[in-house]
Structure 1
Amino acid sequence: MARPRFLPDNLTLMLFAVVLTASIFPCTGVVAVGFDWLTTFMIGLLFFMHGAKLSRQAVIAGMVHWRLHVTVLLCTFAVFPLLGLVLKPALLLVITPDLYLGILFLCVLPSTVQSSIAFTSVARGNVPAAICAASASNLLGIFLTPLIVGVIIVAHSAGHSSLDSILKIVYQLLLPFVAGQIARPWIGAWMDRNKSWLRWVDQSSVLLVVYVAFSEAVNQGLWRQVPPVMLISLIVISALLLAIIMAITTFGSRRLGFNKEDEITIVFCGSKKSLASGVPMAKVLFASQTVGMVLLPLMLFHQIQLMVCAILAQRYGSRPDQAKPAG
C-alpha cells in the first residue's frame, strides 16, 4: 500500500526524460538561441507567479513562533552552506570543481514549500508553523540565495562577472517577484482558483530550463566529464549531506527544547532544498556552459530527499499520541 510513496514523483520522472532527450537530441545553433530567450521569459513569469501566490497572511500568522522560524532559517542558509564549505577538501577528491560548485549551490537554496508542508502533515507535526517557515524560507531565498552565491560561490567561478550576476538577479528574479506581490490583490484569488493548470506552467518552466541547460552541457561534453563512477559518488554525497543535516536538525531541535511537533517541522523544513527555485536561479546565476553540471547534484538530491522524507514522515506519523497534562 505504501510502496508508491517511495517511487519517483512525476516531476522527477519528467526531469529524467528531459535529461535523456537533451543527451540524445541537444538543441544547437539558432534553436538554442531561441530556447534561451524563451527560458528568460519563462523564468520571469515563474517568479512573477511566486510573488503573486505567496500569501502574506500565512507568514504573518506564524511569526509568533519566532524561535522555530529562526532555527529553520539558520539551518537552511547558514548550517547547510557551512557544511558544503567544510566538506570541500574531501569532495574535490571524488568530483570535479564544477560539480562541487553544484553542491555549494544546492547548500544555499531555500526550502521547498509544498512537500515540506505535506510531509509535516503526514508526520503529525506543527503544520501552521511549517506553512510559515517554508514560505519565509522561499521569500528570503529570493534575496539570500543570490547574495550567498555572490559571497561564497562566484569566487569559485572564474570569469563570471559579479555585476552581471547582480543585474540578472534584479531584472529576471526580483522585479518579477515584486510585481507579482503588487499584483496579488487583483490576481491572487484567480490564481488560487486555477492552481492545477498554473502548476503545469510552473513545472514546464523548470523542464524547459533543464532541457536548455543540459543541451548546452552535453554539447560541452557533460557525460565525458561525469563517468558512471562519479555519478555514483554524487549520489553518495547527496545522501551523506541529507543524513548530516537531518541529524543536526533532529538533535539540535531537541537540545533547544522544542517539542516533538516542532521538531518534525524543523527537520522537514530545515533539511529540504527547492528544485523549483533552484533550476531558474541557476540559469540566471551561472554561465551557460556550467549550468548543467551545477544542476546535476540538485536533481539527485531532490529525489533522495523525497524518498527519505516519505519514510521518515511515516515513522513520525505512526508514533503513539502523548498524554497531554491536565489543565
Structure 2
Amino acid sequence: MRRLREIVDPFLLLLLCTVALASILPARGDGARIAGAAADAGIVLLFFLHGAKLSREAIWSGAKAWKLHLATLGTTFAVFPLIGLATQQAAAIPPSMRAGLLFLTLLPSTVQSSIAFTAIARGNVAAAVVSASFSNLLGIALTPLLVALLMERSGTGNLVSLSSVEDIVLQLLLPFIIGHLARPWIGGFVTRHKAMLGRVDRGSILLVVYAAFSAAVVEGLWHRVSRTELLLLTALCIAMLIFVLLFTLLLGRLLGLKREDAIVLQFCGSKKSLATGVPIAGVLFPAGAVGPILLPVMLFHQIQLMACAVLARRYAAAAEGTP
C-alpha cells in the first residue's frame, strides 16, 4: 500500500475528481464569476505562502555548488523549452493542447517530490532543496517571460494578453514579495502549521483547476478532444520524460558530478511543477484556454512521479548493494 501511495499521487486523484466535477457540473453564469474570483484569491494566497516559506539563507546558499545548479536550471529552462518547441510539429494534436505541451516545458521544477526522491535515492538532499527552490523562485519571473517569447513564435497563437503583465505582478510577484518580507513575523507560524498550510495550497490549486475546466467544458472541451489525441499526448509526455532522464544522466557524467549530485541533477532537472503551473496558467491565459493547456501538465505530473519512484528505489538499492 505504501508503494502504491508513492507511485499514485493522492493529490492527482483529487485533481481528477475536480476535473470530473467540472465536466459534470461546470460553473456557469454567476457561479463561474464566483469560482473565478475564488480562484484568483487562491492564487494570491498560494504565492504569499510560497514567499513566506522560502528562507533568505536558502537563497544565498544557492551560490554554492554552482556547476550543479547551473546544469539543473539549464535543463529546466533551456533544454526543456527546446523539446517543447519540437513538439509543436505534432499536427495530430489540437493547437490548444500543443500550447499546453509547450507551456509544460516552460515551468520550473517541483520542490517536494524532487527532494523526496533525492532522499530515497541517497542523493544530496541539501543541494536538492537549494536547486528546486531556486528553480521555483526563478520560474515566477522566467516562465511568464518564456511564454510571452516562445508561444507566439511557435505558432500556438497569441494566448497571452497584455493585461497578463499586470496580473503577474499583482497576483504572483507582489504576494510572493510581501510573503517573503513578512517571513520574520510569520515564518514561525508557517513552519509550525506546515501541514495545514499545505492543505490551503492544494485547496487553492483545486479551485483554479475547477474554474479552468468549467470554462473549458462550457466551451466544448470534451467534444473537441478525442481518445486518440489523449493517447498521443500521453505518449509524447512519456517520450519527453525519457529523453530528459537520459540527458541529465549523461550530463552528470560529462560534468564529472559526484553520484549524490548527479542524482539531484536527474530528479530536479527532469521535473515540472504542477503546483506552480496551475496558478500561472490561471493568470496568463483566457479562462476557456486554461483547461486544455493544463491537460499535458497533469499527465506529465503523474508520469514523472511513477517513473521517478521506480528510479529512486533502484538508486537506493544500488547504494545499499542489494539487487
Q: TM-score range by the shorter chain?
A: over 0.9
**Equivalent in the alignment of 1:131:** 129
Correspondence 1:153 to 2:158: no
* One-letter amino acid of the structure 2 residue matched with residue 25 of structure 1: L
Q: Deviations over 1:274-309 (max 9, x none)?
A: 000000000001111110000000000000000000
Equivalent position SS for 1:223: helix
**Equivalent in the alignment of 2:304:** 305
* One-letter amino acid of the structure 1 residue matched with residue 179 of structure 2: G
TM-score (norm 2): 0.96
Correspondence 1:77 to 2:72: no
Query: Does structure 1 retain, via aligned residues, the 8 Å contact 2:48–2:176?
Result: yes
Matches within 5 A, 1:19-98: 19-89=19-89, 91-92=90-91, 94-98=92-96
Equivalent position SS for 1:38: helix
Matches within 5 A, 1:115-264: 115-155=113-153, 156=155, 158=157, 160=159, 162-264=161-263
* One-letter amino acid of the structure 2 residue matched with residue 54 of structure 1: L
Query: What is the distance in 1 between the residues matched to 2:170 and 2:3?
Result: 44
Q: CA deviation at 1:252?
A: 1.1
Query: Does structure 2 retain, via aligned residues, the 8 Å contact 1:150–1:162?
Result: no
Judge which range, 50-59 or 310-319, deviates more.
50-59
* One-letter amino acid of the structure 2 residue matched with residue 44 of structure 1: V
The 1:231–1:6 alpha-carbon spacing in structure 2 relative to 1, beyond 3 Å, is farther
Q: Deviations over 1:20-58 (max 9, x none)?
A: 111111110011011111111110111011001112212
Q: CA deviation at 1:62?
A: 4.3
Equivalent position SS for 2:275: helix
Query: Does structure 2 retain, via aligned residues, the 8 Å contact 1:63–1:132?
Result: no
Query: What is the distance in 1 between the residues matched to 2:142 and 2:238?
Result: 25
Query: Does structure 2 retain, via aligned residues, the 8 Å contact 1:154–1:162?
Result: no
Query: What is the distance in 2 between the residues matched to 1:226 and 1:178?
Result: 39
Q: CA deviation at 1:269?
A: 0.2
The 1:214–1:139 alpha-carbon spacing in structure 2 relative to 1, beyond 3 Å, is same
Q: CA deviation at 1:9?
A: 1.4
* One-letter amino acid of the structure 1 residue matched with residue 149 of structure 2: V
Equivalent position SS for 1:318: helix
* One-letter amino acid of the structure 2 residue matched with residue 224 of structure 1: H
* One-letter amino acid of the structure 2 residue matched with residue 95 of structure 1: I
Which of 96, 99, 103 aligns to 2:97? It is 99
**Equivalent in the alignment of 1:112:** 110
Q: RMSD of aligned C-alpha atoms?
A: 1.5
Query: What is the distance in 2 between the residues matched to 1:100 and 1:259?
Result: 37
Q: Deviations over 1:79-134 (max 9, x none)?
A: 00011112321x22x21110000000000000000110000000001111100000
Judge which range, 61-70 or 248-257, deviates more.
61-70
* One-letter amino acid of the structure 1 residue matched with residue 184 of structure 2: P
The 1:176–1:157 alpha-carbon spacing in structure 2 relative to 1, beyond 3 Å, is farther
Q: Percent identity?
A: 51
Q: Deviations over 1:110-163 (max 9, x none)?
A: 000011000000000111110000000000001110110110014545454542
Structure 2 runs not aligned, ≥5 long: none
The 1:280–1:131 alpha-carbon spacing in structure 2 relative to 1, beyond 3 Å, is same
Q: Please list every run of at least 4 consecutive aligned residues from structure 1 whose deviation after the TM superposition is greater than 3 angstroms.
A: 154-162
Query: What is the distance in 2 between the residues matched to 1:260 and 1:88?
Result: 35
Q: CA deviation at 1:8?
A: 1.7
TM-score (norm 1): 0.94
Judge which range, 38-47 or 148-157, deviates more.
148-157
Judge which range, 141-150 or 60-69, deviates more.
60-69
Query: Does structure 2 retain, via aligned residues, the 8 Å contact 1:51–1:178?
Result: yes
Structure 1 runs not aligned, ≥5 long: 323-327
Q: CA deviation at 1:224?
A: 1.0
Query: What is the distance in 2 between the residues matched to 1:5 and 1:203?
Result: 17
